[in-house]
Amino acid sequence: MTKITFHNEWMAPDGCLINGEWIQSSEQFAVLDKFSGEKVADVAAADRKMVTTAVQIAKAAVDRGAPPPHERGVVLREAGRLLEQHRARFVGAMVAEAGFVTSDANGELDRAIITLNLSAEEATRLTGDIVPFAASPGAHNRIGFTMRFPIGVVCAITPFNSPLNTVLHKVAPAYAAGNSVVLKPSAYTPLTSALLAEVLLEAGMPPAFLAVLQGEGDTVGAWLLEEQDVAFYTFTGSTRVGRIIQQSAGLRRTQMELGSIASTIVCADTDLDRAIPKIANATFRKAGQVCTSVQRLYVERSIAEEVAARLVEFAGTLTAGEPRDPASRIGPLITEAAAIRAESWVQEARAQGARVLCGGQRNKSVLTPAVLVDVPDEGSAWCKEAFAPLVSIRPFDNFDEAIAGANSTPFGLSAGVFSQNIDRCLKAARSLRFGTIQINETSSARSDVMPFGGVKDSGFGKEGPWHAMREMTEERLITFNP
């Protein structure tokens, strides 16, 4: 493999953004290249006073009122144009701090542009509903309708595994709806958010409507929970942290996209030429660090061996290593500790009697794609969220058995079903308790326009610009009685 020299022409602001200014502090934290382990930047962490100041400025801005909807849409579309213009900077940042291979980084940017444009469209289409008063006796002459208004300061707390598009699924709809935003990115991936903030300001977003507070969750995140002027928290991350946020939010509203153990069911009538590439991509992209990555693969017994063999064959074509190498399809996990943990789960499964058909070898923070069979129920690779490039295959004889297995986890974010049998598909739609059930797709298929969110310990509320904007607004009823 050709050694690729690290370049940092993309470097982002290393401070916290408050009212259009990048501010330094006495506390800093290092951002590491996820493949080499080398330090690529020192970033200033927000202190307690900076958090309060940022929220106060955001509150004052939304109290004064946002620019008109059309102008907000213009800003968001311009931001999309600027993202494309600065593609190389964003890709470089994500490859370094998130460990994405270049194809994953480019895909993240492509989707981010779509999210911005969708939000721009919805900025001018945010309306309420007509109330059918004629349904109530004696009220047929009344006229009623609802209107939607900004909820206020939106606090967005975002993850490392989608440092651009998930951030925009929170920031763009919030601003499109007329809210101000205080963003706390993951401390693993702060630089992509800093670049995004530069783009949004250049596109014309009023400085008081966007703050970026860098730092750790147990400091900056905890301080943001104490700020009573925050009206809405939107969070993507672990169920454990989601519970903490929800407890602190009280009567304030939240949107939570939390943990997951995602399942996909493959029936014997499946077109495997179509399904296997989808399953492999959904399992291994971003090194398996996607909340909807296929972790449990239920396969009808008559085709289980063929599916396993074809998935192993496909995994063998996926080069794992230096993310800047165009040949690489799987980059590093977010930390070496995460890779060590995933490697130990593969070793644990083998010790428990599972067969490791391929992969599971670790080189620092890179783990080769692993396919496992016969993993017991108590195996970590089966019963805990992996967030790594590994999948466990389990055969089934009865479709109800597969549905029950998928439903058996505390989580319910997304599930996939491959079948040509309409009765089975409808049964899956009615019986799988997930926020999304995808027929002839994997659990990890997503279009940015669709409503996205989970049930059970996977959280509540919806992303997707149209849906998120309704989460982030207050609906007001107006009636006229002639």
Q: Are strands 230-236 and 294-300 parallel, antiparallel or unpaired?
A: unpaired
Catalytic residue among 257, 300, 343, 471: 257
- The closest alpha carbon to 200, from 22, 81, 62, belongs to 81
**DSSP three-state, residue 274:** helix
Angle between helices 165-176 and 190-203 (to 10 degrees): 30
Spatial separation of the C-alpha atoms in residues 399 and 402, rounded to whole Å:
5
Question: Where would I find the H helices in 352-385?
Answer: 380-383
Spatial CB neighbours of 138, under 8 Å, sequence gap ≥ 6: none
Task: Characterise 201 by phi-psi region: left (phi > 0), alpha (psi -120 to 50), beta (else).
Answer: alpha
**Catalytic-labelled residue, pool 122, 291, 343, 471:** 291
Rounded CA separation 218/221 (Å):
6
Q: Which residues contact 303 (CB under 8 A, 6 or more apart)?
A: 266, 268, 270, 272
60: tokens are 């004052």
Give the tokens for residue 81.
């144009």
Structure tokens, 98: 């998130």
Token pair for 482: 């002639």
Dihedral Cα 198, 199, 205, 208, nearest 10 deg: -20
User: CA 94, CA 161: separation in Å to the nearest integer?
Assistant: 10
Annotation says 358 is catalytic: no
* Alpha carbons 130 and 477: distance in angstroms, whole number: 10
Is 257 assigned a catalytic role?
yes
Q: What is the rounded distance in angstroms from the CA atom of residue 351 to the CA atom of residue 409?
A: 23
Cα distances (Å, whole numbers) of residue 109 to 89, 361, 449: 11, 30, 15
Catalytic (active-site) positions: 257, 291
